[in-house]
């Protein structure tokens, strides 16, 4: 399955990345295929600005050229980009909304795992809201807003409060086989256009 086009102009490209595809090449020839390579085949000047985990589907944006990449990277770093995800998690979440404010850091002996570390972890904040609860399956659908953008932030934060994402092989390996994929999707991105500066809203349909 290839990424599907969501938006393109002279300054940027946005695609819908399927679950199971790398954002950028991994180590080894068998991990060369990725969203960045597929996009560059059509737009040779497309440069990566951010990433999605291989198991995460949804919106992935690229800058066309170095100047656009610098501008867009600054927008992401300066938190001028609003991101919304949807996830289905294990368990029935009791409250209707809340925040997870837990510092994160790489779990170096167990890479690529990340972990909560209150001493040297980087500040990390996720806002969440219940969309629906499924009593029969014992699962909850959440709308997620990562205020910060740490590696595996949503996955570790949800696991840390006892509600790991369904299908997450890294943070809930025992139950991961219950789903053919990780149920996490990047469904909205609102960001300043790298040339005009005007707000651009990108949306993707959640496939689960």
Which tokens go with 127?
């806002």
Pick from 122, 118, 174, 111: nearest CA to 148: 122
The residue with tokens 């809340």 is: 98
Are 54 and 168 in contact by the 8 Å Cβ rule? The answer is no
Which tokens go with 134?
């499924």
Q: Which residues contact 154 (CB under 8 A, 6 or more apart)?
A: 85, 87, 126, 144, 146, 165, 184
In angstroms, the CA 154 to CA 85 distance is 9
The residue with tokens 């972990």 is: 115
**199 in catalytic set:** no
- How far apart are the two ends of the chain, measured CA to CA in Å? 16
Are 154 and 126 in contact by the 8 Å Cβ rule? The answer is yes
Single out the catalytic residue among 9, 33, 53, 117.
53
| Residues known to be catalytic | 53
């Amino acid at each position: 399955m290839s990424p599907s086009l969501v938006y393109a102009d002279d300054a940027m490209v946005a695609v819908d990345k399927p679950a199971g595809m790398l954002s950028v090449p991994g180590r080894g020839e068998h991990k060369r295929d990725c969203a960045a390579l597929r996009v560059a085949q059509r737009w040779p000047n497309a440069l990566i600005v951010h990433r999605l985990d291989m198991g995460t589907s949804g919106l992935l944006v690229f800058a066309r050229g170095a100047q656009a990449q610098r501008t867009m990277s600054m927008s992401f770093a300066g938190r001028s980009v609003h991101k919304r995800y949807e996830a289905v998690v294990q368990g029935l979440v009791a409250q209707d909304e809340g925040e997870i404010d837990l510092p994160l850091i790489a779990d170096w002996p167990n890479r690529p795992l990340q972990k909560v570390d209150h001493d040297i972890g980087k500040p990390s904040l996720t806002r969440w809201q219940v969309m629906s609860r499924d009593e029969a399956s014992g699962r909850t659908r959440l709308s997620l807003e990562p205020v910060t953008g740490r590696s595996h932030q949503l996955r570790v934060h949800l696991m840390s409060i006892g509600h790991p994402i369904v299908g997450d092989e890294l943070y809930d390996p025992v139950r991961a086989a219950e789903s053919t994929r990780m149920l996490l999707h990047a469904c909205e991105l609102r960001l300043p256009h790298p040339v005009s500066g005007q707000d651009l809203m990108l949306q993707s349909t959640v496939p689960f």
